[in-house]
Amino acid sequence: MNDVKIGRVQGQIEIRSRMMGVWSRPLALIVACCIAPGVAHAQAFTQPAGQGRVITSVIHTKSDKIFDDNGAATDVPDISKTEIYLQGEYGVTDDLTVLLTPSFRFISVEGGADSANLGYTDIGARYRVLNDDNVVLSLQGKVRIPGQTQRNSLAQIGQTDAEYDFRGQLAYTFGQGSFVSVESGYRVRAGEPPNEFHVDATVGIRASEKFLITANSFNVISDGRGSGIFSSPHRYHNLFLGGAYDVSSHVTLQLGVTGTIDGRNALRERGAFASVWTRF
């Protein structure tokens, strides 16, 4: 397996027989399925009317193994990803927040198939249906517009069609600014990739007046199999651990590490992230 190399793909994808048996399916699946989510904050909360925030996040990960179809870690050519998210939220009313998240990504696969382009742009809204003392319940819907539609790069497979994400979000606040947030949803994916179930959790512990310890668990499970090269199901479970420091009432800096703890037909990622939260 180590002597198999990925040929550089130019024009339309050329899949030779040895790639079909060894690399085409896992590489397409892992690149298409393991784009990192946004970084830690409590999603269920809406923004106050007339106020908003932008969270700018940079996430860099490297992988030299994948979890194969049996969930075992298997060597692959080195894969490096850098993703940038600009997650904007604005409160139309106290209960309704509109969402806009453009993104950029660079993916490098050893031996070729590099890709640098706009990623998905998410457009949607979050509506608060319950605000009872320390409990908040919200519903959220987003359409995800791909930044690229060309299918002639291995690193673009599965990332060229629209997606639609719907979820419910529940948050509980306690202490002096600590919280727990859990959300569950379903993502409809156009094209060949299968739809997905998403279950995410966020914990924020206010260690001091200005410092928040953050932890995220992002869990994705495909709804069965897709078509074409996506004929195998996938899943992955990513952890983000970090800390956020309030520089001022308008700016927060966040740093942390991330990694994939388990999966199937998914990258085993290791990396770090940095975010700037700007409130206005």
Return the SS3 of 196: strand
Name residue 70's amino acid: N
Please tell me the distance from the alpha carbon of residue 251 to that of residue 245, in angstroms, as a whole number.
9
More confident position, 149 or 228: 228
Residue 6 lies in a domain: no
Q: How many domains does the chain have?
A: 1
Q: Where are the beta strands (DSSP E) in the chain?
A: 52-67, 73-91, 96-101, 103-109, 112-118, 121-132, 135-145, 163-174, 178-189, 196-206, 211-222, 235-246, 251-264, 266-267, 270-279
pLDDT attached to residue 30: 56
Residue 2 lies in a domain: no
Domain CATH number, residue 249: 2.40.160.40
Return the SS3 of 187: strand
Q: What are φ and ψ of residue 122, in 5° steps?
A: -95, 130
pLDDT attached to residue 5: 34
Residue 9 lies in a domain: no
Please tell me the distance from the alpha carbon of residue 99 to that of residue 107, in angstroms, as a whole number.
26
**The domain containing residue 208 runs over which residues?**
17-279
Please tell me the distance from the alpha carbon of residue 40 to that of residue 62, in angstroms, as a whole number.
20
Residue 131 lies in a domain: yes
In whole numbers, what is the pLDDT of the chain averaged over residues?
Answer: 84
pLDDT digits (tens, 9 = 90+) for 11-22: 322 333 333 334
Residue 4 lies in a domain: no
Please tell me the distance from the alpha carbon of residue 269 to that of residue 200, in angstroms, as a whole number.
18
Residue 7 lies in a domain: no
pLDDT digits (tens, 9 = 90+) for 77-128: 898 999 999 999 999 999 999 999 999 989 888 877 677 888 899 999 999 9
| 271's tokens | 């990396």
